[in-house]
Amino acid sequence: MRSPLPRRAFRRVLRPEVWKRGPVLTAAALLLGLVMLLHAQIPNRIGSLGSLVETFLPWFAVFIPVLAAGALWRRSVSAMIALVLPITAWLSLFGGLLVDKSEPGGDLTVATHNVGADNPDPAGTAQDLVASGVDVLALEEITDEDRSVYEKELAGTYPYHTVQGTVGVWSKLPLSGTRPVDIATDYGPLADTKPADVQLAGNRALRTTVTTDQGPLVVYVAHLGSVRLNPRAGFWTDSRDRNAQALGKVLAADRSERVMLLGDLNGALDDRALAGITSQLDSVQDAAGDGFGFSWPTKFPVARIDQILVRGVEPTGAWTLPATGSDHLPVAAGVSW
């Protein structure tokens, strides 16, 4: 009589050759897990490799089913066991984002949107943003040519607004104490990536105070420098990193009770270059979102580089808005006192 199926399977697992199969798959699974666990130790000195890994860290999960399929095909027990490491590492990093943490209600809704310097339909973009119904709206990459369009289209819903350089705030509630914020902005070698007929002002950050029934809320709007993948320079982040350091110092010096940052930070919050900012403020997506909230690029979002961060208020929800004429999705959030 043949042995029962479970006993036969157990005997196969005990065979030495089963454990010797798939050494490359086993090594790959262990390496994947170690990269996710120790991403902060990956050096940035060569092509900002650490920042590049941290920007796309959630997507490392796509390698897990590929390795699992290979392990099953090779019938490699060691590779299957090794996959426990990357699965555990990924869940520890991002498992919380798979749960809907939003709550009903909220005292204020906000949104931020990089409207795009080469947006073919700024009027339509403004109308889409009005339809969102948010109370406070921040825009980045406003060109001199399109500024009047946004001011005209948004005026009926948002009676209070300010534009400082290429960033602006439109609000249903009064604004006060508005000023530009110097974050050492420069376009550097990336200036030629914008259309030749597009003119961008130098200032890309501001600070204002929104007057609410619950008290003042300090709002920062910022558009940090661009990043690029370059065959010679690797992950080029110099301008973004300088801006992030400068903005982090500004936020650290601001002792206001309630602070919010809205903007295109050109980086995921896992990126170490944004540590000076994330150490001061909390992500609404992490606290009250449902999923990753990827915002760029519009056609196939792979990263959340548009952020809403807060201090002194409680996030009640975080979500992305429908696509506009920009290459970024607008992101929105609700907060409560």
State the residue for tokens 């992030």.
244
Distances (CA, A) of 49 to 52, 194, 297: 5, 25, 21
Residue 186: Cβ-neighbour burial (10 angstroms; 0-12, 13-18, 19+): middle
Give the predicted TM-score (pTM) of the model. 0.89
Distances (CA, A) of 162 to 158, 165, 231, 241, 296: 11, 10, 40, 26, 26
The whole-angstrom separation of Cα 39 and Cα 80 is: 23
- For the chain, the domains span 5-98, 108-336
pLDDT of residue 2: 53
Q: Which two tokens stand for residue 1?
A: 């009589």
pLDDT in tens, 168-214: 999 999 999 999 999 975 444 334 444 444 444 479 999 999 999 99
pLDDT of residue 21: 76
The DSSP secondary structure of 58-77, one letter per residue, reads GGGGGHHHHHHHHHHHHT-H
Spans of the chain, pLDDT less than 70: 1-20, 185-201, 233
Give the 3-state secondary structure of residue 222: strand
Give the 3-state secondary structure of residue 19: helix
pLDDT of residue 234: 82
pLDDT in tens, 14-26: 556 655 678 999 9
What is the amino acid identity at position 92? Answer: S
pLDDT of residue 191: 41
Burial call 259-269: b when 16+ CB within 10 Å, e when fewer:
bbbbbbbbbbb
pLDDT of residue 194: 45
- DSSP for residue 167: E
> At 230, which helix (H) or strand (E)?
strand 228-230
pLDDT of residue 200: 47
Pick the CATH number of 108-336 from 3.40.50.300, 2.40.40.20, 3.60.20.40, 3.60.10.10: 3.60.10.10
pLDDT of residue 265: 98
The whole-angstrom separation of Cα 210 and Cα 313 is: 13
pLDDT of residue 137: 98
The whole-angstrom separation of Cα 83 and Cα 164 is: 50
